[in-house]
Amino acid sequence: MMPLWTHAELVAATGGQASGEFDANGVAFDSREIGKGDLFFALKGEATDGHLFVGKAFANGAAGAIVSEPVDFPHILVKDTFAALNDLARAARARMGGKVVGVTGSAGKTGTKEALFAALDRSSRGKAHRSVKSYNNHVGVPLSLARMPRDTVFGIFEMGMNHAGELRALTALVRPHAAIITTIAPAHIEFFKDESGIADAKAEIFEGLLADGTAIIPRDNAHYERLRNAATKYATHIVSFGFSPEADVRLLDHVAGANGETLITAQLPKGALCYGLSQSGEHWMSNSLAVLAAVEAVGGDLAAAGLALAELGGLAGRGARHVIPVQNGSALIIDESYNANPASMAATLAQLGKVDGRKIAVLGTMKELGDKSSEFHRALAEPLSAAKVDFTILVGEEMEILAERLKAGVEGLPEFAHCATAREALELLKSNLRESDTVLVKGSNSMGLSAIVSDLVGGKS
């Protein structure tokens, strides 16, 4: 079986000096993720140096390492290991003869990437590749490219940013045939003057489009025209998606199912498609339309895409649902603990509002909102009220201003408690959890709310 990288390919791509000959079946920069026959990149960061973990990588089965300092193991010596990782990423992209899709946006990137992967992997019979987890930054993107098998038919890569210019560098590596922007919202707004700056930074993804490339943009977003104008400079084709009757890929009709699924009829440029969507919420409906647009843009199978969307499972931290036992019955935990911004908070709270029974929201601080943080946190009172949430547990210092608003006792706002840490929130939730409750857990990843889900789902309650 052909290795992921032969020794000759590794030397040619990195331009390094080899201490011995070895092939590689996989690539990692975390020694804990190394498997038998993998290549270890000893990257140097602000906090640590990968060269300190070379021995551990080989103990875990590494076949070789890319290093900038000689080591007592098979290696290729380069001047800069991060530059070498980017070189290997370029080599991976150059040898891949299939189609590539890039995905970015202020919310929904990972879910859209996973849904698109499921759709294209189904039609290509296992020949699709995507970035795992949220490997969407200056290290994760080249790593994901370096891991791409040579016979990949479809590659799907998530790209993130929190400063202008970052996506420009990433899309130059990915060189997509199609590029999706899911939405523009005030995520990471502390690094930008306003939302238009975020839109401009996200639109950098179009700069990497290959000839005859397709830009896929949200028709319902307030920054649609700005995105379209940016895409015009680089894209041969521009496809819009959304609920608007002017969208190229648009929702015609939808019917809610008994178990949270949705039956959707969508209009595409070449005809209509009826499909099931296992995930619930308008944001998922919109993102599914972006998926269909991308599948059509890269020549995928729309029928297979529809089947994949119907069978898509929940993602940990991004909508996964868990039924847990409680006294006299069970409760439902909705895990949205990985990330949060004003747009995604509003969307998930709106979905929580549609469930029957008592509704509990455990909401952690939204980070990187800059001087507008207080404004955005305070404004969560509206979606909480609209969703008719029965009890809200607020976590983190920045939630104090929302707690003050809820404390004022405005009509329609829920009962609440304010905690400093996820551990405090967990204990409070445990003491309040009842049969048939639905609990939404959502906050920025740094708040550690995933520990609440892990504890409850792990049966420790």
pLDDT along the chain (461 residues), means of 10: 95 96 96 96 91 96 97 97 98 97 93 96 96 87 97 97 91 98 81 86 97 97 97 98 97 83 92 91 93 97 95 81 90 90 89 91 91 91 93 95 87 86 95 94 92 84 41
In a domain, 90, yes or no: no
Q: Are 209 and 155 in a shared domain?
A: yes
One-letter amino acid of 455: D
Two tokens, residue 36: 């038998």
In a domain, 233, yes or no: yes
Count CA within 13 A, CB hemisphere, residue 73: 22
Task: Check which CATH number belongs to the domain holding 390 and give it.
Answer: 3.90.190.20
In a domain, 86, yes or no: no
**Beta carbons of 334 and 352 less than 8 angstroms apart:** yes
In a domain, 88, yes or no: no
- Domain stop point among 277, 311, 345: 311
In a domain, 428, yes or no: yes
In a domain, 129, yes or no: yes
Q: How many C-beta atoms lie closer than 10 Å to residue 118's C-beta?
A: 21
Is the pTM for the entire model greater than 0.85? no
Task: Check which CATH number belongs to the domain holding 53 and give it.
Answer: 3.40.1390.10
Show Cβ contacts of residue 5 under 8 Å, excluding neighbours closer than 6 positions: 13, 23, 24, 27, 39, 88
Q: Are 326 and 300 in a shared domain?
A: no
Nearest to 438 by CA among 399, 396, 387: 387
**Beta carbons of 186 and 196 less than 8 angstroms apart:** no
Distance CA 148, CA 99 (A): 12
Q: Are 119 and 52 in a shared domain?
A: no
Q: Are 271 and 343 in a shared domain?
A: no
Sign of CA dihedral 242, 141, 214, 231: positive
Distance CA 231, CA 203 (A): 7
Nearest to 237 by CA among 251, 216, 258, 218: 216
Two tokens, residue 454: 């892990």
Q: Are 159 and 299 in a shared domain?
A: yes
Q: Are 38 and 141 in a shared domain?
A: no
Q: Are 140 and 278 in a shared domain?
A: yes
Task: Check which CATH number belongs to the domain holding 224 and give it.
Answer: 3.40.1190.10
In a domain, 224, yes or no: yes
SS3 string, 407-439, reads HCCCCCCCEEEEECCHHHHHHHHHHHCCCCCEE
Residue 319 phi, psi (nearest 5): 110, 0
- Domain stop point among 34, 49, 80: 80
Q: Are 331 and 300 in a shared domain?
A: no
Q: Considering its fold, how many domains does the chain have in total?
A: 3
How many residues are listed for the chain in this entry? Answer: 461
Q: Are 31 and 71 in a shared domain?
A: yes
Residue-number span of the structural domain to which 22 is assigned = 7-80
Report the chain's terminal Cα–Cα distance, integer Å.
47
Quote the pLDDT of residue 460.
43
Distance CA 448, CA 422 (A): 6
One-letter amino acid of 117: F
In a domain, 286, yes or no: yes
CA–CA distances in Å: residue 432 to residues 220, 326, 333, 387, 461: 39, 11, 14, 19, 12
Q: Are 266 and 382 in a shared domain?
A: no
Q: Are 330 and 258 in a shared domain?
A: no
Q: Are 17 and 157 in a shared domain?
A: no
**Beta carbons of 153 and 126 less than 8 angstroms apart:** no
